[in-house]
Structure 1
């Protein structure tokens, strides 16, 4: 029986050390490999933790991790060139191959020249089973598969047609067209499905995604180049995995942390606000952070930030909900997930950030509530206007309660993680020092002359 090489292109699949679902899928895949099979993990220049993760996975003797230029066609061709098997199976990083599908594939291996699996799409939309049914039916009739269906081909035939074409989009369609011309009767459709992520449909809407994909297929059929289509295509992998939006006022004495004034005085309140902001930004170092500011000139902020690599946006006029909604709408255009954070979330750690990300990726919306009735952080993969409404009493102890009620009224679910301390009252300051999340010497940590 021929040996199989599984080739997986990877790009920005591991946002952080604590947010790694890729390794789980890879370990499950390794369990399927027979003696003589191998797995090629091909990174396309990821900017997150993907490459480091692939290197750790490559300690297994049947796993090889390599790097190539960005683009699935280029990555899969690079993997195929290093593969040892007589049959190549191309599996996207967000597609899972289970034991049932693998066993069905192995039973057909001796007659294998090329083909694809049926697919099931995992996501929230009720339309996804319908989408998958039409995908599977259409490809059986047309003998044109897609990358989500895990294409496979004998090495000899793959080399004969020249591998994947060097194009940034529709490379799977073009490969199938070439294979169909050369070996139309050797096409195999495996009924046991692979399972692929429905993140495109969930993020952009089922019907919008369906119409977009069919529009692109039509344009490609009409002769529009793959390069032209690629410039138009807003694939979720072209978005950054996460943007953290931090909201802060410029620390003018008398304008920030005023409830602490009886204990600290106006000048020390400003110094404390400065400490909270700069320590939060340093805690988020290396992440995609945007600072949404209220007050202060460009020069003042430049002097305060002291060269920290942080993009800055000015908060719009209006209540806090409107300001947060503006940030969410802005960043979801370029990011899969947006996390809103205030600098007084003194207990919030990197571990909390990763947990909040995981919850939001699973549910779409996740909060870290505050002990005082508000919330210290919010993460979402879509805009939910109801939670930013003017009807919520912003700045009061009823914010979290009213947010839960708004979600319930819209029949929307969210994950609420354990509550944390934020610092507004003098007692909060003592409690933070007691918990160890605020150093006693905070006044000298970020002095104005740093």
Structure 2
């Protein structure tokens, strides 16, 4: 086992109509895909500043994203499991078999940066699970330093994708096992896209 921390990035394959589905009514399938790609490239940029190793975990094979990972020297894996909680637990279990601290992020938050990663890693020096909260009641980051916590059913019953995700996920542990970082916000709804653009974090969608 190494002391070098690990960042796990969860991403979806670049298939129109299968990413950012809540944006499709307003932007179309191609527009939603383009927004997702913009989010993903910025997530990759943040990951490149991570003080450790990086792995990309895809929901389905995607040649372009596998090449992007290889170009950055990252390992690439496929997520395993039916539910999101099972897939995250599996990735963390595998990661923590290799290192003493692992963080897992998605690709929807434009505010993740090296400082936030370092805050999370510092928490893991004395607490086995850390969450990076999001304003909508979910979370943008999950980290751990204890491999034995990550059985496949750890997050059984958690209501992901809504305002109860963080609360439900924390309830899967004892109170002293978790700590929550200050909330950030992610891009899920059309109003989030508008917020990101008005903040200068997301360029307009362009069509060729």
Same fold (TM over 0.5): yes
- Whole-Å separation in 2 of the counterparts to 1:411 and 1:276: 33
- Whole-Å separation in 2 of the counterparts to 1:249 and 1:365: 25
- Structure 2 contact 129–177 (Cα < 8 Å) conserved: yes
Superposed CA offset, 1:310-347 (max 9, x none) = 21010012111111111111011111101000111211
Q: Is 1:392 aligned to residue 155 of structure 2?
A: no
TM-score (norm. length: structure 1): 0.42
Residue 167 (structure 2) aligned to one of 398, 401, 418: 401
Partner in structure 2 of residue 328 of structure 1: 92
Q: Following TM superposition, by how much is the alpha carbon of 1:250 offset from its aligned partner in structure 2, in angstroms?
A: 0.5
Equivalent residues in 2 for 1:48-447, closer than 5 Å: 238-285=1-48, 287-297=52-62, 299-303=63-67, 305=69, 307-383=71-147, 384-385=149-150, 388-407=154-173, 410-436=174-200, 438-441=201-204, 443=205
Q: Matched residue pairs, number?
A: 204
- Structure 2 contact 154–172 (Cα < 8 Å) conserved: no
- Structure 2 contact 56–75 (Cα < 8 Å) conserved: yes
Superposed CA offset, 1:33-55 (max 9, x none) = xxxxxxxxxxxxxxxxxxxxxxx
Q: Following TM superposition, by how much is the alpha carbon of 1:373 offset from its aligned partner in structure 2, in angstroms?
A: 1.2
Moved over 4 A (4+): 303-306
- Structure 2 contact 10–105 (Cα < 8 Å) conserved: yes
CA, structure 1 residues 303+245, in 2 after alignment: closer, same or farther (shift >3 Å)? Answer: closer
- Structure 1 contact 252–270 (Cα < 8 Å) conserved: yes
TM-score (norm. length: structure 2): 0.88
Superposed CA offset, 1:13-71 (max 9, x none) = xxxxxxxxxxxxxxxxxxxxxxxxxxxxxxxxxxxxxxxxxxxxxxxxxxxxxxxxxxx
Residues 388-397 or 240-249, more deviating: 388-397
- Whole-Å separation in 2 of the counterparts to 1:326 and 1:306: 22
Residues 306-315 or 413-422, more deviating: 306-315
CA, structure 1 residues 321+379, in 2 after alignment: closer, same or farther (shift >3 Å)? Answer: same
- The runs of 5 or more residues in structure 1 that have no matched partner are 1-237
CA, structure 1 residues 335+418, in 2 after alignment: closer, same or farther (shift >3 Å)? Answer: same
3-state SS of 1:292 partner? strand
Supply the RMSD in Å over aligned alpha carbons: 2.4
- Whole-Å separation in 2 of the counterparts to 1:317 and 1:413: 25
- Whole-Å separation in 1 of the counterparts to 2:139 and 2:168: 11
Larger radius of gyration: 1
- Whole-Å separation in 2 of the counterparts to 1:401 and 1:411: 11
Q: Following TM superposition, by how much is the alpha carbon of 1:381 offset from its aligned partner in structure 2, in angstroms?
A: 0.1
- Structure 1 contact 292–314 (Cα < 8 Å) conserved: yes
3-state SS of 1:247 partner? strand
The structure that is helix-richer by fraction is 1
- Whole-Å separation in 2 of the counterparts to 1:439 and 1:422: 12
Q: Following TM superposition, by how much is the alpha carbon of 1:396 offset from its aligned partner in structure 2, in angstroms?
A: 2.4
- Structure 1 contact 339–377 (Cα < 8 Å) conserved: yes
- Whole-Å separation in 2 of the counterparts to 1:300 and 1:340: 21
- Structure 1 contact 366–378 (Cα < 8 Å) conserved: yes
- The runs of 5 or more residues in structure 2 that have no matched partner are none
- Whole-Å separation in 1 of the counterparts to 2:70 and 2:143: 28
> Higher relative CO (CA 8 A, sep ≥ 6), structure 1 or 2?
2
CA, structure 1 residues 413+302, in 2 after alignment: closer, same or farther (shift >3 Å)? Answer: closer
3-state SS of 1:246 partner? strand
